Amino acid sequence: MKRGRPKKEYNDSEIGQEAEIEVIIPYDPRPFQDEIHRNLKRYNVIVAHRRFGKSRMCINQLIYSALKSARLNPRYAYIAPTYKIAKNIVWDMLKYHTRDIPGIVKNENGLSIDFPNGARITLYGSDNVDALRGIYLDGCIIDEVAQCPKNLYPEVIRPTLVDRKGWIIFIGTPKGKGYFYKLFQKAQIKENWYAGFFPLSKTGIIDAKELAEMKEDMTPSQIAQELECSFDTTGNDSLIPLEWILACQKKKFTDAPEGLRVAGLDVARFGKDKCSVVIRQGWKILYHDSWHVEDTTYTSQRVLSLWKNNLFDILNVDGIGIGGGVVDQLRHAQVPLFEVNVALASKSDKMKALRDELWWKVRTVFENRELQIPCDAYGEELTIQLSTPTFDHVGSKVKVESKKSIRDRSGDSPDDADALCLTYSDYNVFSSSRINSAAL
């Protein structure tokens, strides 16, 4: 087997051009594993139940890619939650499935296998992310994503895929609605992403007798999470199901949008949160923008510019905390606005606070397919933010998951979604014509 020649461009059509011998790998994929192999794209998120054979399937995808690659010194990585798991479980599996390949070289200390064509597969643990910095990768597996650090992919792994346009597979079993859940949402709406969902009820690979005995030893929530791949195991429910939002994205509205052009402004000043403004008229989002800044005057000036350019009729601002400073400055500039304190008690006897009421209004909007979501990068991010929050009941009242909780488990703040929610705060006392600030 020859070493692959260097290429200027890297794509799937170049794979396999240098193969000279036939190698039989001791791996007979199950039907659903085969389905995954055949449908893989550059970015892949696979949700699969326990005992699906995730690790074995991914190891063999790496071996296949390493053998077929015609690139110069291809590099592949399998990242387990910990180095100990990689060494005690995955390493034996990798050695077994490469045992019949002539000319391979095993590195027991480095947990790597070199192939005759210059390819290398290395095992890592996500508990030592620094070992992954500075390398390049043609392909990567991140196993049990929910157990790995949230910064592993965006900060460490994503840069390693740039030079060779490498591919990646995220795979695991759910563990609440954290980062893995967010990735699965993303895979369902973005191009060049593959989303695979394989609960036991779909694969049926555990026989009935064994399953009955398992159910005797597991709680219903454990069965839902570990076997049926449910992201909802805490008693909470998704506030806005993803399928509702996707349906709105596909819906074709034939009528022109009517009513006031309402701007919603979610104000932030520090940290990863961002200021976000959304302008909506009826079913249509007319304008959106966001920025990171530590100056409320800057935020006020940006919104004032939108007003002077006649882009909205009324502004709803979250006035809690630093939002109060923005409210004061915009009022001084005679911008017509409402200060919306989302922490106040809701007027509805079914909702805990005004924030819960606004989010529930947006939920109803999507349930009734009354809003068009843009088909662009903003629309994709907004879709993820809208479908992330859960809700629960406090007594007889609905309580939507807090912004802090969403940020802690997903890694991102729903600033754009909050701004959209603010556009649904009551404003119907005004006519649809441009409002004179004196009327306020």
pLDDT at 439: 34
Which whole number is the average pLDDT over 251-256? 90
**What is the identity of the amino acid at 379?**
G
* Amino acid identity, position 80: A
Say how far apart CA 67 and CA 223 lie, in whole Å.
38
The answer to whether 59 and 97 are in contact (CB under 8 A) is: yes
Amino acid 270: pLDDT: 62
Asked if residues 363 and 398 have their Cβ atoms less than 8 Å apart, the reply is no
The amino acid that residue 34 corresponds to is D
Structure tokens at 228: 């049926």
pLDDT digits (tens, 9 = 90+) for 303-346: 999 999 999 999 999 877 788 889 999 999 999 999 998 888 88
pLDDT of residue 20: 59
Backbone angles phi, psi at 277, to 5 degrees: -125, 135
pLDDT at 10: 33
pLDDT of residue 271: 61
CA dihedral sign, ordered 170, 174, 177, 181? positive
The pLDDT, as a whole number, for residue 146 is 87
**Lowest mean pLDDT across 113-122, 165-174, 245-254:** 245-254
User: Can you tell me the mean pLDDT for 230-249?
Assistant: 79
pLDDT attached to residue 38? 95
User: In sequence order, what are the residues at sequence separation of 6 or more whose Cβ sits closer than 8 angstroms to the Cβ of residue 151?
Assistant: 129, 411
Residue 221 banded pLDDT, cuts 50, 70, 90: confident
Is residue 83 over pLDDT 90?
yes
Question: Per-residue pLDDT tens for 351-366?
Answer: 889 999 999 999 999 9
pLDDT of residue 111 exceeding 50: yes
Neighbours of 367 (CB within 10 A): 13
- pLDDT-based confidence at residue 434 (cuts at 50, 70, 90): very low
Amino acid at 76: Y
CATH 3.40.50.300 correct for 12-234: yes
H or E segment and range at residue 392:
strand 390-394
Q: Looking at the DSSP assignment, which residues form a beta bridge with residue 399? A: 392
Residue with tokens 């882009």: 311
Q: How far apart are CA 90 and CA 56, in angstroms?
A: 8
Q: pLDDT-based confidence at 233, cuts 50/70/90?
A: low
- Where residue 77 falls among pLDDT bands split at 50, 70, 90? very high
* pLDDT reported for residue 21: 66
How many Å apart are CA 364 and CA 360, to the nearest integer?
6
User: Rg of the chain over CA atoms, in angstroms?
Assistant: 26
Short-list 393, 423, 401, 409, CA closest to 240: 401
DSSP 320: S
pLDDT at 80: 95
The number of CA neighbours under 13 Å toward the Cβ of 122 is: 17
What are the residues whose beta carbons fall under 8 Å from the beta carbon of 364, sequence distance 6 or more? none
Lowest mean pLDDT among 63-77, 104-118, 296-310, 397-411: 397-411
Which residue did the predictor score with more confidence, 246 or 93?
93
Per-domain residue ranges of the chain:
12-234, 242-439
How far apart CA 374 and CA 250 sit, in angstroms, is 10
Task: Find where tokens 């309402």 sit.
Answer: 262
- The CA distance from 194 to 42, in Å, is 8
- For the chain, the distance separating the N- and C-terminal CA atoms, rounded to the nearest angstrom, is 79
Q: Which class in CATH covers the domain with range 242-439?
A: alpha beta
Q: Which two tokens stand for residue 336?
A: 């017509």
Give 121-153 pLDDT, tens digit per residue. Answer: 999 999 988 888 889 999 999 999 988 988 899
Q: What is the pLDDT of residue 16?
A: 37
What confidence score (pLDDT) does residue 141 get?
Answer: 97
How confident is the model at residue 230, as a pLDDT?
Answer: 87
Distance CA 247, CA 366 (A): 8
d(CA 73, CA 114): 10
Which residue bears the tokens 């911008």? 335
- The reply to whether domains 12-234 and 242-439 share a CATH topology is no
Degrees (nearest 5) of the Cα angle 61, 174, 352?
Answer: 150
What is the DSSP secondary structure assignment for residue 369, as one 8-state letter? T
Q: What is the pTM of this model?
A: 0.71
What is the rounded average pLDDT for all residues in the chain?
A: 87
386 pLDDT exceeds 50?
yes
Q: Beta strands 193-198 and 275-281: pairing type? A: unpaired
Percent share of the chain, pLDDT over 90: 61
pLDDT number for residue 40: 97
Contacts of 147 (CB under 8 A, 6+ apart): 81, 126, 172, 175
pLDDT one-digit tens code per residue, 179-189:
898 899 999 98
DSSP letters along 411-440, please?
SS--HHHHHHHHTTS--TTS-SSPPPGGG-
